[in-house]
Amino acid sequence: MARTARLLAAEDPPAVERSRPAAGSGLRSLSSAASGLWDWLSVIGTGVSKLEKALGDHFPEGERYFGLENFGNTCYCNSVLQALYHCIPFWEQLLEYYATYRNTEDTVDNLLTCLADLFAQITLAKKRTGVLAPKHFVQRVRKQNELFRSYMHQDAHEFWNFLLNEIVDILEEDCRTANSSPETITPEEVSNGAVNALANGAREGPLVTLVHRIFQGILTNETKCLTCETITAKDETFFDLSVDVEQNSSLTSCLKNFFSAEILNGEDKFFCDKCCSLQEAQKRMKIKKAPHILVIHLKRFKYVEQLSRHKKLSYRVVYPMELKLGSMSEDADCEYSLFAVVVHVGSSPNHGHYVSQIKSHGNWLSFDDDTVQISGESTLQTFYGSSREHCGNTDHGYILFYERLGGKS
Ligand SMILES: [Zn+2]
């Protein structure tokens, strides 16, 4: 207890106050809607938890810290769910969605409603801590995707991709069936070509869902013909950046490599429309629109041809608490603050465990399936990786979640 108090007192005030807004009228109306949930989701926690004792008076008002039960290698799912729950903009929007769909007559049961039910159950829990069994959600994941049906170790990043894309599909489908006039991306927000200008001047663009608003960024891919110097730009959207890792490096250097200029020559020559032929060219990527939440996947699982299998790279990659994109982004002042890390534990891609480290109200907490504990900022350094291969520590930062500072999106 005393040690915890000292730990908390010693910490500097957080650079960004990441706290949940007080429950508004919309959220308060959730309580009645949620009552039915308790029938099919069981709550296991009892009494005053160790975590409550440890946080004491520092327990954030209105906050809930719930562990998630593991249903046989479902830590890949639990670790990502915790990062998402503690991603405040996502949590807010999902509860808004929950309030809307709970008030409609139709009974919908899909991955998004299962996720919204789970978030609402945590948020509205009477207890501040405990353990939940996300059984309905996991069943839905398994129903939806064969890949996650087995009880084998899964890739948390693959799950993250699947979950986000699935949510987008559901929201887009909702929009189509509602036949309402969908919100579209404004021409300023989008790249040339992504918005289809219609003959009558009306614009029809891709739907903007809550996932797009929070996680989507735009990359611009510039290819410069080295003969005529014409620049061809092509934009693409992303929900996360998957970057290669190098031994004894930092996230910033990995990102710089990701965005560094590349010469296209030999067999990789570029077809220049102006020269009407294959030419040597210089290609480089830049972030055109930085997302509100920047998710970075460190490619630690690499296919090694000699071994004919994937290998885990335990390289030491230092990631900062505050990330500046600088010249990698068109908005050079773009700054981010780390709030969640999904950690892969284990030396092989096919076995192991996932936990997440999450910053909540200025405190770093460790979420390991059903266990939630205070960890502290210094713990994050233990997940950088090792400068030597075959080192005893096999816990490595795998997916990093950064929130944009300054409230811009
Ligand atoms: Zn050319």
C-alpha dihedral sign at 26, 168, 340, 355: positive
- Ligand 1 centroid–CA 277 distance in Å is 8
Q: What is the pLDDT along the chain (409 residues), one digit of tens a residue?
A: 333 332 233 333 334 445 666 544 445 445 544 544 443 344 444 567 899 999 999 999 999 999 999 988 899 999 999 999 999 999 999 999 999 888 887 778 899 999 999 999 999 999 999 999 999 999 999 998 888 887 777 899 999 999 999 999 999 988 888 765 445 544 344 333 233 333 333 445 678 899 999 999 999 999 999 999 999 999 999 999 999 999 999 999 999 999 999 999 999 999 999 999 999 999 999 999 999 999 999 999 998 899 888 899 999 999 999 999 999 999 888 999 999 999 999 888 888 999 999 999 999 999 999 999 999 999 999 999 988 877 778 899 999 999 999 854 4
Residue 246's Cβ-side half-sphere holds a number of Cα atoms within 13 Å equal to 10
Torsion-angle region of residue 229: left (phi > 0), alpha (psi -120 to 50) or beta? left
- Ligand 1 centroid–CA 250 distance in Å is 36
Taking a C-beta distance cutoff of 8 angstroms, is the pair 367, 355 a contact?
yes
**30, 357, 362 from 9: Cα distances, Å:** 35, 20, 11
- Write the CB contacts of 154 (distance below 8 Å, at least 6 apart in sequence): 73, 76, 77, 147, 148
Would residue 212 show up in a list of annotated catalytic residues for this protein?
Answer: no
DSSP string, 67-109: EE--SSS-HHHHHHHHHHHT-HHHHHHHHHHHHHHHTSSS---
* Domain residue spans of the chain: 28-191+206-407
- Write the CB contacts of 305 (distance below 8 Å, at least 6 apart in sequence): none
Taking a C-beta distance cutoff of 8 angstroms, is the pair 162, 140 a contact?
no
- Ligand 1 centroid–CA 270 distance in Å is 9
Name the token pair of 156: 């948390």
Q: Which of 75, 77, 225, 272 is catalytic?
A: 75
Name the token pair of 171: 């929201």
Would residue 361 show up in a list of annotated catalytic residues for this protein?
Answer: no
Taking a C-beta distance cutoff of 8 angstroms, is the pair 361, 60 a contact?
yes
**SS3 call for 215:** helix
Name the token pair of 327: 């010249």
Q: Which of 153, 212, 297, 353 is catalytic?
A: 353
- Ligand 1 centroid–CA 268 distance in Å is 15
**Whole-structure pTM value:** 0.84
Count, in order, helices (H) and strands (E) of the chain: 12, 22
- Ligand 1 centroid–CA 255 distance in Å is 29
- Ligand 1 centroid–CA 286 distance in Å is 21
- Ligand 1 centroid–CA 228 distance in Å is 4
- Ligand 1 centroid–CA 275 distance in Å is 4
CATH 3.20.20.330 describes domain 28-191+206-407: no
